[in-house]
Amino acid sequence: MSTIVNDIEVIKANHTKIHDIDFNNLKFGHVFSDHMLECDYKDGKWHTPKVVPYAPISLDPSAKIFHYGQSIFEGMKAYKDEDDNILLFRPLDNFKRLNISAKRLAIPELPEAFFMDGLKTLLKVDSDWIPKKEGSSLYIRPFIFATGKGFHASPADEYKFIISTAPSGAYFAGKVKVLIEEKYSRSANGGVGFAKAGGNYAGQFYPTQLAVKKGYQQVIWTDDNTHEYIEEAGAMNIFVRINDTLITGPTSDRILDGITRKSIIELAKTEGIPVEVRKITVSEVVEAAKNGTLKEMFGAGTAAVISPIAGFGYKNEDFDLPELENTFASSLKKRITDIQTNKAEDPFGWRYKV
């Protein structure tokens, strides 16, 4: 059970930047709100968080984040409904996953009250930064990194937890073409693929750049051992629709337990869509594309919610997906976003009012 943190200090910014922002033309993650939450781990414990003006951070050159990569993060969104209520989507799942990542990277786990009460305090202070335009939201980035000093290869003794926010428009525009990866891997058994570790994403950039040079926007990651199984789409979980069955890979050491992924699975079941959580072979997807039974592929994640895939490349051959009028991707995305923004009933208890 979470205890309540009543003494979160709020240090207000002297000036607001909000009047300089065009909320009708927001890029994703480029504009930052006035304040951030900050919390330090020192002397063997997490100290009470405080809300401070958004500002650069000063670190010692020997801070272990620079040398040994102890860094984890989460991605969340806040919305406002027509009555200006501030709404979150499954925030406790984000908190729990942050601590799962922390444990794997030998970072001290964060108290639930520090996360939840700190987040709620920050959102109330910067509530005017939550956009109400359709498709927009306040993107929330909680993260923890090692600030302890030293070049010796060991876990740090000091850490910093920050939540910063960015009013943002849509993450992706339109459908994307992807390349099924045959050489590089996102993660491996026994590794940290299931954690939201910063290094996981750093390792993705180079293979993605190679795919972009070939005319694709993203990479479909395959397993590290045989490259026979489809696992993730870029930085997102992946879903494949063959005929009218929706298929996604099981979570593992290599695959992130996505909150949007879990929501899609539950929503699809309530809508009577057959769902299979199992390994998906590349050959199965290629064969389905050739015989016309491959109807849809899409990525699922917090930022884009659902990102449709227009086609994929594999072994120097391109495959286009059919243009359908009523897709699982569009209907499931609408169901999720309607719940998130309080435009529909929430029978699952996912919506969280601040």
The residues spanned by each domain of the chain are 9-168, 176-339
Tell me how far apart the alpha carbons of residues 259 and 303 are, in angstroms, rounded to a whole number: 11
pLDDT score at 2:
44
How many other β-carbons are positioned within 10 Å of the β-carbon of residue 326? 6
- The pTM for the full model equals 0.95
CATH code of 9-168, in short, is: 3.30.470.10
Q: Lowest-confidence range among 5-14, 95-104, 259-268, 293-302?
A: 5-14
Q: What is the rounded distance in angstroms from the CA atom of residue 275 to the CA atom of residue 278?
A: 10
Asked if residue 353 has pLDDT above 50, the reply is yes
pLDDT of 173 over the 70 cut: no
Would you say domain 176-339 falls under CATH 3.40.225.10? no
Q: pLDDT tens across 95-124, in order?
A: 999 999 999 999 999 999 999 999 999 999
- What average pLDDT does the segment 148-152 reach? 97
- Identical fold between 9-168 and 176-339: no
Query: Residues 123, 354: contact at Cβ < 8 Å?
Result: yes
CA 118-120-126 angle, 5° bins: 100
Say how far apart CA 302 and CA 43 lie, in whole Å: 34
Beta strand segments in 3-158, E: 9-10, 35-42, 45-46, 50-53, 71-73, 76-80, 86-89, 137-146
12: number of Cβ within 10 Å: 12
Q: What pLDDT is recorded for position 122?
A: 97
Model pLDDT, residue 5: 64
> Which tokens is 68 given?
């040994």
